Amino acid sequence: MQNIIRGKAYVLGDNIDTDQIIPAKFLSYNPSDPSERRYFGMYAMDGVPAGQMGLPNGNIRFVRPNEFKTDFTIVVGGKNFGCGSSREHAPLAIAEAGASIVIAEFYARIFFRNCVNGGYLVPCESVERLVEKIHTGDELTVNLGTCKVTNETRKTSHALKPLGDVAPIIEAGGVFQYAREAGMLKS
Amino acid sequence: MAGMTITEKIFAKNAGKAKVSPGDNVWVSVDILMTHDVCGPGTIGIFHEKFGRNAKVWDKNRVVIIPDHYIFTADDKCHRNVQILRDFVREQGLPYYYDPEFVKNEPRMPNPYLDPTKTRYKGVCHKALPEEGHVRPGEILLGTDSHTCTAGAFGQFATGVGNTDAAFTLGTGKTWLKTPPTMKFAFRGEIPPYLTAKDLILAVIGEIGVAGATYKTMYFAGEGITSLTLEDRMTLTNMAIEAGGKNGVCDVDEKTLQYVRHRSHVKNWEVFKDDPDARYCYEKEWDLASFEPLVAKPHSPDNRDTAMNCRHVNIDQAYIGSCTGGKITDMIFAASILKGNVVKVPTFVVPGSTEVHADMKRLNLMGAEKGPNEKSIEDILLDAGCRVGPSGCSACLGGPSDTFGRLAGTEVCISTTNRNFPGRMGSMQASVYLASPLTVAASALTGHITDPRDYVVKPIQTGMAGVL
């Protein structure tokens, strides 16, 4: 796990459900097939209503049409990020597009668990609500060691909550690596 | 030392501990792992990658595979995904697999089963799991589907997981869980005839919000719950996830024991009850007679309103189906209102399982075996102008573009399903109202959202439908 993550922010609102993150019509791609897996990147956030895509202005796609990778490294959300379906395709899609961290007020539990156990994304929780304080495109620096996100564009900084119980699993890179390191699984 | 809840007792048993408390992280043994055609291929891929190409599952009698999501479509990737499940079942020698044998690996719409009693295919996993005896009190069920929480109606711990968690359990039989605190929702009295459990859960979700139970257990208790059929209890626990709940759970009673003894060949399960001094992080008691028929307005299951307040909303389509609202008792509720009438808007009916579909053909409106000159539940629905499709998840989650009942434009749909997120039923421009099968049927008859109280004059009997 990298302690310092730099990149552009992509800002979304509250209750971003997994149907918005990756709509059900794309779930026929098999994530275990590398030639199909990349399509989850192409369609990441395809189900977010246009006006909510990239706040505050909206109408900014996470991934440009017909491309596989995003310009955004850090997704910023509000309350209950990742609610709804248990589809692991959701954190996988965000990661496949090239983002590496989400910062939300709090998460729906299956999405959070999938981020951690699958080793896709670091699911950080902010201390205060950031949706109105960070704009899509702002350059951010996240320091996981000091639990701080610095907005280089607006010259502000905000505290993050410590990762807590799940930090060892995130640091290991997922539940399989964690269980191997803990001696629960044979290498 | 405080007492324990049902969920805490199940965690303690499967972790080999005397006691667990909310917040404790524990490694537990898993009793049943379920997957389906949407999350199975990814799970199987991770299993092979992490445990090796020749690895075997931890216990082939504890793995259940139920294809249900994308069956009736010409999309050949969906058919390929079913084939991945078949190949895995053969490779592992898994006994509990419910194959849609009519799905061939080719790009055309499969012809559905002709007779629902003569196919191995089941339909929606959450309905099929208890029907096939895989759900038992006191056990831990994990499924790669968020509505796995449905099985909590049978007094077990059941929750949804992702592909990585499922693959880990496939290889080890274990998972780590954080012990959730319990919220207690107690219900007094008997349910009035114009309400179903759907109205109760929409009331609860409206009260606490879509994140009101995040990381928590939702315990549905009291004589009001005992008065419900098991199918109606499943409607409550099914939608625990719509409030963010980790699981939903009901007490085990004679109805539960009768069902499980009849369905499961496994006999050594345990029944747990909350201790009198068990601790709750939230408690609320409701009187069942105090509820009105409700809807959840677009685009969130907690956007609660009464059906009466929404009577000016015109609808373009009605949908009766899914793990929430496609059970045989839901069909009896809808048919009781539709009988002898004709729908004003296209009304799509999707049985939750092939057993439900068979019962729709076999049973009369009282839930009893129909006589030779009597109309079946399916007859009544067809006579009313409903379109009845084959069992499966169908348009509840949109799915491929050729899915039965899917929304494609700016339709307003009233539906017995569990989610009305933007785009959930296939179109970003559509508006979905969630409601009980009574409210959906009444609305289908008038063409606008309609309180079913004018249509339900006496209690609706469902007999032993959905039990034996």
Minimal CA separation from A101 to chain B, in Å: 18
CATH value of B296-455 in 3.30.930.10, 3.30.420.240, 3.30.499.10, 1.10.10.10: 3.30.499.10
Q: Where are the alpha helices (DSSP H) in B289-416?
A: 322-325, 328-338, 354-362, 377-383
A51 inside domain? yes
Stated pTM of the model? 0.98
A58 inside domain? yes
Domains contained in chain A, number: 1
**Distance separating alpha carbons of residues B274 and B114, to the nearest angstrom:** 46
Q: Give the single-character DSSP code of B153.
A: G
Q: Is A111 exposed, middle or buried (0-12, 13-18, 19+ CB in 10 A)?
A: buried
**Which of A80, A91, A113 is nearest residue B244 as measured by Cβ atoms?**
A80
Provide the chain B residues 55-74 that lie in CB contact (below 8 A) with chain A.
69-70
pLDDT in tens, A21-71: 999 999 999 999 999 999 999 999 999 999 999 999 999 999 999 999 999
- In terms of residues, how long is chain B? 468
Query: Tokens standing for A158?
Result: 């905000």
A64 inside domain? yes
Task: Single out the residue of B115, B8, B383, B177 nearest to residue A166, CA to CA.
Answer: B177
A186 inside domain? no
A187 inside domain? no
* B42 to A110: CB separation less than 8 angstroms, yes or no: no
Q: Which residue of B has its CA nearest to A18?
A: B421
Residue of B34, B79, B165 best to disrupt the A interface, most CBs of A under 10 A: B165
Neighbouring C-beta atoms of residue B308, cutoff 10 Å: 14
- In terms of residues, how long is chain A? 187
- Looking at every residue in chain B, the average pLDDT score rounds to 97
SS3 B175: strand
| CATH assignment of the domain containing A91 | 3.20.19.10
Q: Is B255 exposed, middle or buried (0-12, 13-18, 19+ CB in 10 A)?
A: middle
Question: Is 0.90 exceeded by the ipTM?
Answer: yes
| Tokens 């972790």 sit on residue | B15
**Residue B100 has what pLDDT?**
98
Strand partners, A123: A102
Q: Which residue of A has its CA nearest to B171?
A: A185
SS3 B400: coil
**Residue A187 has what pLDDT?**
66
Neighbouring C-beta atoms of residue B360, cutoff 10 Å: 25
Task: Single out the residue of A173, A12, A27 nearest to residue A107, CA to CA.
Answer: A12
Judging contacts by C-beta atoms under 8 Å, the chain B residues touching residue A85 are: 145-146, 397
A105 inside domain? yes
Judging contacts by C-beta atoms under 8 Å, the chain B residues touching residue A86 are: 39, 143-146, 148, 160-162
Helix or strand run (H / E) with residue B78: helix B76-92
CATH value of B6-184+209-263 in 1.20.1440.230, 3.10.310.40, 3.20.20.70, 3.30.499.10: 3.30.499.10
pLDDT in tens, A88-142: 999 999 999 999 999 999 999 999 999 999 999 999 999 999 999 999 999 999 9
Collect the ranges in chain B with pLDDT lower than 70.
none
**Residue B1 has what pLDDT?**
73
**Which of B145, B164, B215 is nearest residue A175 as measured by Cβ atoms?**
B164
In terms of residue numbers, what domain contains A47?
A: 4-181
CA B389 from chain centre, in angstroms, equals 18
Report domain extents, chain B.
6-184+209-263, 296-455
